[in-house]
Structure 1
Amino acid sequence: MRNRFKQAETETDEFMGNSINAYRLIRTVVQDWPNWLHYVEEEVGLKEIESLKSVQLALPTSNDLKLADVGLSQIADTYNLMPEDIASGLLLGKQHAATLTPLDCFEMGMFYVNAKFYENAINWLTTAQSLMKPRHRSNLYARLGLSSTNFALIQARYVQSRIKIEVIVCLVQLKLYITDNIEQARAVLENEPSLRGEVDKLLYEFGKEDAEVENDYEQKSLEFEFEYGKFCRSSYKMKLKRLSCFYKSKSAPFLQLAPFKVEQLSLDPYIVVYHDVIYESEILQLQSMTKSQLMGTTVKIETGNLQSSQHRTSRGAWLPHDDSSDADLELIDRIQLRTEHMTELLLESNMNLNMQFLHYGFGGHYTLHHDFLNLTLKSLVFDDRYATLLFYVNDVEKGGATAFPYMNIAVKPQRGKALVWYNLNPFSFDYDHRTLHAACPVVVGHKLGMFCSLNCLL
């Protein structure tokens, strides 16, 4: 454990950029650390307790573990990775030295149980069991607080969800038997010695409707409107027709000497990529000016208020901020002018260009969404997000693409390029719902970018 802490401190980007390392460290600190404190909470361990408590404020919290659960589930579900592969360190075809423990896999299994995704839960729980030494496998669940009866209910719920009819499912010797006769089900259960005392509970728990339970995980984040995961995978190849790459040199005089390199991805809606439009010195300055400002990002809910959401797991900093130096403001002005030349949209003041520097860590993602604000008053439509420009500030080893399911487009992060699209129809100013998009989960490494929304007229 001490070695993993040291690696996390001295090799932060490399160590925490690996999804398995990051998840295992967070889960261990949140769940195992209290046990260590309790273990040494004797007179001979008072000094050790004070030492442990002195660093506890800087350690991950239970909320960090929830986000880690969400992040790893997004990686597994989006990229179709099996629990046993993730646990062994096999991520998207590349073998890593980092692995998960049985406790890590058990935590993921219970996360899926709470989210009511029972097939995923069973896969993670059985993986946890398979990682144990043979002599410990039989009582793993019981030792961790999951009785055989509760595991039976998880399996039963999974079967019920698959066959889509009302049934009574009974577990006998860890095998499922299905019957539509409750009395027959009772007889089968009563003939099983290990379950005989649980018959009424099993029949009641399985027969009742699912109650509303407190569940911090937003279930819809796993139920995608589109199967957009295929666009996130490295095997996906875009099929673009009658599009071109060209040099853009007419929107400003200096572009005659250094034209923009433009790659068209779609003409309707208009989606293009500009290559090599943000430079190394600017990237380093952006990272420096935002390092201490990064905070959890938010989304707008139905009431119009902003709140954190597990649909969007990233940290961000709005620019400029109160501590921006003169040099920082000069950089922002240069980027604004460059944005005008790229989009040919007239930006009269900074109020028309909202800039946010973003950091996506392990499992960082933003599920399917539109960038327009969906303002209902026609008079306010021109205050909406007319276009979006997304600068990619670093290369990402695995994951992190921007996917547009309606358009069959996926753009991989690449240091120095910018992705531009229009959220509103340029003629009618109607919302273009085809711009529905998502930030795919980061699997290995981290993703840095700068989001710019352009709220202006042609």
Structure 2
Amino acid sequence: MVKVSDFIFLLILAKPILSESLKELIEFYQGHYYSASVLGLVDLLKLEQEFMENFTIYTDALQEKVDNLNNYLDALKRPNHTTHNEREKFVSDPLNAFGLIRRLNQDWPKWQNYAQKSVGLVQINAMEKILSKKPKLFDMNESLRSMHRIEVTYDLSAKDIARGVLQSTQFNYTLSVGDCLALANHTLEIGNLNSSLQWFQEAVKQFPDNYEDISSSLKEDQLKEFATVVATRRIQMMNQSLGNETLHKLVRNQLQNLTKKDMENFISSKLVQWHRGSVSKLENANTQTTAHNIGCRGLFPKRKNLVCRYNSTTNAFLKLAPLKMEEISRDPYIVMYHKVLSDREIEEMKGEVKEWSNGWTGLEEPMEIVSLVYWTTDESKFRDRINQRISDMTGFKLEEFPALQLANFGIGGYFKPHYDYFTERLRTLDANNTLGDRLGSLLFYAGEVSQGGQTVFPEVEVAVEPKKGNALFWFNDFDDSSPDPRSLHSVCPVIIGSRWTITKWLHHDPQVFVKPCSPRILKRSS
């Protein structure tokens, strides 16, 4: 994973960019995004709680005002005087007449002033300030992409997700009408028409029969917004040369007289029609199963003849305190060390962070911000202890590059398939690299992830569960230091949990005497 500041530097070297465009790019990649990490989402939850507290105080103040007005009106209750004679008889009583004159002269002006007086101004100002920190459009789009990624990767149905059922586990949360319509709109935009239809059907199930209160009215507005998107798409498909003004007018004319039921039928019929028309190409493409997805679903064949053992041979210290090691693959070499990071050390790790940066997926398009990252460039007891443990596990020297990368991933945290060894492009851009290629990678799992988040090696059909406290180690190069394409790996979207990692890349040059190059042993073809 690359830090944003590194990316900007490399991008400047890679190609000339107009200063204004570069400025916008830097602002984007250095922006604060809640969706980039669970830490950011925790901050967002606190923000909503603060908003709700102010909103509650504000509504209580409004209710108190309404109660006071109603109490005064209740005190004035009297029979309805519907005829002139009845009114005349009422005001002929001097008590009634006096009270009438006094109220209109003294009381009602005061009650009018009371009714006009604003309440909860402190709370209104506080809520405005909170909403100035609301999620950006990037956060909204990333959350939509993440939800769809979870849906596709694990082959989940919209029906189950909407009802809070994830991989046969029922959770105490369901998606609202607005949630389902937003996902229907997103999947329509990316061309997954079957998914869009399913999400819309889940939204329809929650529509009220009548729109009598403000909550129901908001749902109707959301339905109209999606109907507008569908109508716009339909008209553009028939005539792509229309200007915006003409297009908007045709859309308004098509929808203006439609009832709620008419809009539901209109949207459903168009989604079904488009889905049927594209099922032979678009939907087949959308449902193709990749090796990454198969691994995330736990469908790789189980490997045999692998063992778990105590590693006591890497260095002398392990003879006294051997480490629990599980073979994941012998060729290529992938092993898991169990219980090598304690809860206390994980809390200590979080205390190391001074300032987070956005972590992104690499130089290849599309570039995505997938986490917050921090490099431990300053010396500390924690860093020294973890590096020593890595040296105990691998036998490698780490003095020349002691920094560790800490990361916390966001909603549906994942990482697309990639190699850790340097590509030719990165090698060219990082011409001052004195450490050599990344011959090996070591990854500590430092977060509690109960569903999803596996590390997948699609080329060798291996998927590793991210058990908290464990560490995964593998080689990226062959023995002759040439890149091993089988080291291609990815991270499955996290369904439930917070993915924290400590990553260490082990470079070639400092290990030249520890692990010297040797000819690659090629297997004979039978």
Q: TM-score, normalization: structure 1?
A: 0.69
| Match of residue 347 from structure 2 | 284
Q: CA deviation at 1:47?
A: 5.2
| Match of residue 94 from structure 1 | 169
* 1:341 lines up with 2:341 in the alignment: no
Within-5 A mapping of 1:139-158 = 143-147=224-228, 149=231, 150=234, 151=267, 154-158=271-275
For residues 345 and 446 of structure 1, the distance between their equivalents in structure 2, rounded to whole angstroms, comes to: 30
Within-5 A mapping of 1:283-322 = 283-290=346-353, 293-302=355-364, 309-310=367-368, 313-320=370-377
Which deviations, in whole Å up to 9, do the C-alpha atoms of 1:103-124 show, x marking residues without a partner? 1010011111222222222211
For these two proteins, the number of residue pairs brought into alignment is: 359
* 1:65 lines up with 2:140 in the alignment: yes
The 10-residue stretch of structure 1 (46-55 or 114-123) with the greater mean CA deviation from structure 2: 46-55
Which deviations, in whole Å up to 9, do the C-alpha atoms of 1:273-310 show, x marking residues without a partner? 011212232211101212x53332113225xxxx9934
Q: CA deviation at 1:58?
A: 3.5
**Aligned partner (choices 373, 389, 413) of residue 422 of structure 2:** 373
For residues 424 and 496 of structure 2, the distance between their equivalents in structure 1, rounded to whole angstroms, comes to: 37
For residues 343 and 402 of structure 1, the distance between their equivalents in structure 2, rounded to whole angstroms, comes to: 19
Within-5 A mapping of 1:26-425 = 44=118, 49-134=124-209, 143-147=224-228, 149=231, 150=234, 151=267, 154-164=271-281, 226-233=290-297, 235-236=298-299, 239-290=302-353, 293-302=355-364, 309-310=367-368, 313-320=370-377, 324=378, 329-350=380-401, 354-375=403-424, 383-425=436-478
| Match of residue 445 from structure 1 | 497
For residues 278 and 141 of structure 1, the distance between their equivalents in structure 2, rounded to whole angstroms, comes to: 48
Q: TM-score, normalization: structure 2?
A: 0.61
Q: CA deviation at 1:237?
A: 6.3
Which deviations, in whole Å up to 9, do the C-alpha atoms of 1:216-237 show, x marking residues without a partner? xxxx9x898824223223x546
For residues 226 and 154 of structure 2, the distance between their equivalents in structure 1, rounded to whole angstroms, comes to: 31
Q: CA deviation at 1:238?
A: 5.1
How many percent identity over aligned positions? 26
Report the residue type matching 2:313 in the other structure.
K
* 1:435 lines up with 2:487 in the alignment: yes
For residues 164 and 394 of structure 1, the distance between their equivalents in structure 2, rounded to whole angstroms, comes to: 40
The 10-residue stretch of structure 1 (82-91 or 329-338) with the greater mean CA deviation from structure 2: 329-338
Q: CA deviation at 1:248?
A: 1.3
For residues 351 and 117 of structure 2, the distance between their equivalents in structure 1, rounded to whole angstroms, comes to: 46
Partner SS, residue 80 of structure 1 = coil
Work out whether residues 297 and 308 of structure 1, in 8 Å CA contact, stay in contact via their aligned partners in 2: no
Partner SS, residue 313 of structure 1 = strand
Work out whether residues 67 and 313 of structure 1, in 8 Å CA contact, stay in contact via their aligned partners in 2: no
Report the residue type matching 1:241 in the other structure.
K
For residues 224 and 157 of structure 1, the distance between their equivalents in structure 2, rounded to whole angstroms, comes to: 19
Partner SS, residue 306 of structure 2 = coil
RMSD over aligned Cα atoms: 3.6
Report the residue type matching 1:392 in the other structure.
Y
**Structure 1 residues 85 and 430: CA distance shift in structure 2, 3 A:** same
Q: CA deviation at 1:134?
A: 4.3
Which deviations, in whole Å up to 9, do the C-alpha atoms of 1:121-146 show, x marking residues without a partner? 22112211122134579978752242
Structure number having the greater strand percentage: 1
Report the residue type matching 2:292 in the other structure.
Y
Partner SS, residue 502 of structure 2 = strand
Structure 1's unaligned 5+ residue stretches are 1-11, 30-41, 166-219
**Structure 1 residues 93 and 57: CA distance shift in structure 2, 3 A:** same
Q: CA deviation at 1:267?
A: 1.4
For residues 391 and 286 of structure 1, the distance between their equivalents in structure 2, rounded to whole angstroms, comes to: 11
Partner SS, residue 263 of structure 1 = strand
Q: CA deviation at 1:384?
A: 2.0
| Match of residue 33 from structure 2 | none
Higher Rg = 2
Work out whether residues 374 and 431 of structure 1, in 8 Å CA contact, stay in contact via their aligned partners in 2: no
For residues 241 and 77 of structure 1, the distance between their equivalents in structure 2, rounded to whole angstroms, comes to: 29
Report the residue type matching 1:249 in the other structure.
S
Work out whether residues 295 and 317 of structure 1, in 8 Å CA contact, stay in contact via their aligned partners in 2: yes
Structure number having the greater helix percentage: 2
Work out whether residues 39 and 408 of structure 2, in 8 Å CA contact, stay in contact via their aligned partners in 1: no
Partner SS, residue 482 of structure 2 = coil
